């Protein structure tokens, strides 16, 4: 017997939820593939994918089956015990990547928190207590805990919360000389997103990544790739680092990993992992059987040539049409990104107006994202069907036309 539902509406949000978000005017209640329905029964095309999370769309039958099967067996057991789904998921991630070991948690921020703590602990153990500086990129995003906002390169997220964590330096992204100037024997880690997601879908240059790897090697610093957004097939490779061939020492993933069920992972080598010995770090929910059963199924489906190749093909479909829309209405300066992490950079005439595009899209029953004020971001299901791509792009074109004509 389930509890009776009390009626709720969007206005309730402003009464009972902490006002740190400003959600859309409608409330989604159901999803199937790349379509979502709201309380009124209106159907929307989903190009947002829950912010690059719903890797297999909504209510994918294999994920529903994995979740419900595990739900009938064992939800939670704590890390006093291990569990089969966690062990299987770790084996699959280790087999598919540079890594030897995984640490599971519940979000991207927690995966990065673990990565930053591990990098500092490793440097402390191996080189001594003076080696604790972390260098990251201006405009980077690494999550919302105090450590991760401080490492993140956006003061608007880190100012006003009291003293920040010390020993963190920010340098311009894609600027190797700026990084070289800040590297020293005190640097314990360099943290980068292979494609800066939140701040505009901005890819790192190949030569930059190669140079960063070399600088890290020279200075005995660990290279951490934050693949919370780019990982698990998003870019058409299982992880974005595979495209560049530049291998990190620690990699974090979350978002697409659970396909909508909360989970995060930190991957690293035996040698580095050894420095998070028993008791040094922990989590109550991390690696719980429900999350791992779902994520294991996501990995099985995504890490196949069909799905990864399909992501690249879908990128081409999107790009051709987006470039045509951009040209026709003079709204985009360029379309960038890889796989199904796509950024449409607004032209000078529309700079700063990304929110207006998102609102116009919503009026046409299309969910899209912004990445900062100047970039529209698309992060749909990795298996979005051609009919949904076409319909969504038709709606986007209507939204753009309405905005331009207004
Ligand atoms: C979303 C994101 C995070 C934070 O993930 P949460 O699950 O919200 O904590 C960290 N890094 C990057 C690159 C992200 O895109």
193 touches ligand 1 (CB under 6 Å): yes
Q: Which of 46, 255, 353, 357 is catalytic?
A: 255
Confirm or deny that 141 is annotated as ligand binding. Answer: yes
Nearest CA to ligand 1 atom 5: 108
**Residue 2: is its pLDDT beyond 80?**
no
State the average pLDDT over residues 366-386: 98
Exposed/middle/buried for residue 127 (C-beta within 10 Å: 0-12, 13-18, 19+)? middle
252 CA from centroid of ligand 1 (Å): 9
Mutate which of 151, 198, 248 to test ligand 1's pocket (most atoms within 8 Å of Cβ)? Answer: 198
197 touches ligand 1 (CB under 6 Å): yes
Return the ligand 1 atom nearest residue 229 CA. 15
For 99-114, how does the pLDDT look when each residue is reduced to its tens digit (9 = 90+)? 999 999 999 999 999 9
Instruction: Categorize the per-residue pLDDT at 377 as very low, low, confident or very high, splitting at 50, 70 and 90.
Output: very high
The residue behind tokens 């311009």 is 172
* pLDDT (0 to 100) of residue 4: 81
Q: What is the mean pLDDT of the chain?
A: 98
228 touches ligand 1 (CB under 6 Å): yes
For 255-313, how does the pLDDT look when each residue is reduced to its tens digit (9 = 90+)? 999 999 999 999 999 999 999 999 999 999 999 999 999 999 999 999 999 999 999 99
Return the ligand 1 atom nearest residue 193 CA. 13
233 touches ligand 1 (CB under 6 Å): no
194 touches ligand 1 (CB under 6 Å): no
Structural tokens at position 331: 């709204």
Q: What is the DSSP string of 193-215?
A: -SEETTTT-EEPPHHHHHHHHHH
State the average pLDDT over residues 373-398: 98
Q: Which of 46, 226, 374, 388 is catalytic?
A: 226
262 CA from centroid of ligand 1 (Å): 12
Distance between CA atoms of residues 218 and 199, nearest Å: 29
Q: Is 226 part of the annotated catalytic residue set? A: yes
Distance between CA atoms of residues 97 and 105, nearest Å: 18
11 CA from centroid of ligand 1 (Å): 28
For 316-367, how does the pLDDT look when each residue is reduced to its tens digit (9 = 90+)? 999 999 999 999 999 999 999 999 999 999 999 999 999 999 999 999 999 9
* pLDDT (0 to 100) of residue 57: 98
* pLDDT (0 to 100) of residue 1: 59
For 12-67, how does the pLDDT look when each residue is reduced to its tens digit (9 = 90+)? 999 999 999 999 999 999 999 999 999 999 999 999 999 999 999 999 999 999 99
143 touches ligand 1 (CB under 6 Å): yes
State the average pLDDT over residues 184-204: 98
Higher-pLDDT residue of 341, 4: 341
Q: Is 100 part of the annotated catalytic residue set? A: no
31 touches ligand 1 (CB under 6 Å): no
Return the ligand 1 atom nearest residue 145 CA. 9
Q: Above pLDDT 70, what percent of the chain?
A: 100
**Residue 403: is its pLDDT beyond 70?**
yes
Torsion of CA 278, 284, 289, 292, to 10 degrees: -80
330 CA from centroid of ligand 1 (Å): 32
Report whether 54 contacts 32 (CB < 8 A).
no
Return the ligand 1 atom nearest residue 112 CA. 10
**Helix axes of 61-71 and 289-302: crossing angle, nearest 10 degrees:** 150
Residue 18: Cβ within 10 Å count = 6
pTM of the predicted model as reported, rounded to 2 decimal places = 0.98
328 CA from centroid of ligand 1 (Å): 34
Q: Is 13 part of the annotated catalytic residue set? A: no
State the average pLDDT over residues 239-256: 98
Confirm or deny that 144 is annotated as ligand binding. Answer: yes
Going from the C-alpha of 352 to that of each of 203, 219, 399, the distances in angstroms are: 20, 39, 17
For 206-218, how does the pLDDT look when each residue is reduced to its tens digit (9 = 90+)? 999 999 999 999 9
Beta bridge partners of 43: 37
Return the ligand 1 atom nearest residue 196 CA. 13
Q: Which of 47, 141, 318, 332 is catalytic?
A: 141
* pLDDT (0 to 100) of residue 283: 97
* pLDDT (0 to 100) of residue 55: 98
Distance between CA atoms of residues 341 and 172, nearest Å: 22
364 CA from centroid of ligand 1 (Å): 28
Residue 74: Cβ within 10 Å count = 15
């Amino acid at each position: 017997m389930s509890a009776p539902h009390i009626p709720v509406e969007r206005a309730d949000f402003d009464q009972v939820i902490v006002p740190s978000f400003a959600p859309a005017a409608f409330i989604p209640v159901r999803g199937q593939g790349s379509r979502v329905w709201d309380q009124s029964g209106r159907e929307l095309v989903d190009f947002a994918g829950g912010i690059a999370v719903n890797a297999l769309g909504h209510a994918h039958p294999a994920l529903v089956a994995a979740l419900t099967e595990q739900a009938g067996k064992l939800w939670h057991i704590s890390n006093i015990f291990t569990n089969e789904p966690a062990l299987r998921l770790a084996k699959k991630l280790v087999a598919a990547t540079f890594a030897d070991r995984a640490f599971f948690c519940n979000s991207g921020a927690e995966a990065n928190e673990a990565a930053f703590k591990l990098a500092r602990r490793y440097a402390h153990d191996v080189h001594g207590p003076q080696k604790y500086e972390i260098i990251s990129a201006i405009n980077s995003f690494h999550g919302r805990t105090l450590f991760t906002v401080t490492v993140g390169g956006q003061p608007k997220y880190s100012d006003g919360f009291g003293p920040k964590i010390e020993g963190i330096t920010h340098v311009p992204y894609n600027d190797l000389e700026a990084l070289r100037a800040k590297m020293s024997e005190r640097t314990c880690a360099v943290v980068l997103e292979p494609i800066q997601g939140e701040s505009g879908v901005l890819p790192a240059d190949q030569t930059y990544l190669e140079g960063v790897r070399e600088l890290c090697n020279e200075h005995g610093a660990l290279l951490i790739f934050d693949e919370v957004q780019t990982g698990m097939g998003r870019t058409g490779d299982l992880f974005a680092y595979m495209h560049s061939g530049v291998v990190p020492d620690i990699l974090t993933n979350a978002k697409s990993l659970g396909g909508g069920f909360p989970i995060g992972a930190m991957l690293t080598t035996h040698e580095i992992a050894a420095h998070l010995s028993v008791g040094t770090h922990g989590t109550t929910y991390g690696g719980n059987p429900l999350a791992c059963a779902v994520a294991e199924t996501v990995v099985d489906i995504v890490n196949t040539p069909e799905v990864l190749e399909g992501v690249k093909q879908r990128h081409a479909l999107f790009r051709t049409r987006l470039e045509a829309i951009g040209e026709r209405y003079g709204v985009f300066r360029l379309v960038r990104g890889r796989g199904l992490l796509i950024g449409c950079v607004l032209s000078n005439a529309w700079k700063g107006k990304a929110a207006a595009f998102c609102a116009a899209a919503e009026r046409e029953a299309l969910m899209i994202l912004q990445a900062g004020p100047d970039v529209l971001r698309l992060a749909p299901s990795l298996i979005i069907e051609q009919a949904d791509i076409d319909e969504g792009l038709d709606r986007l074109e209507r939204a753009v036309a309405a905005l331009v004509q207004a």
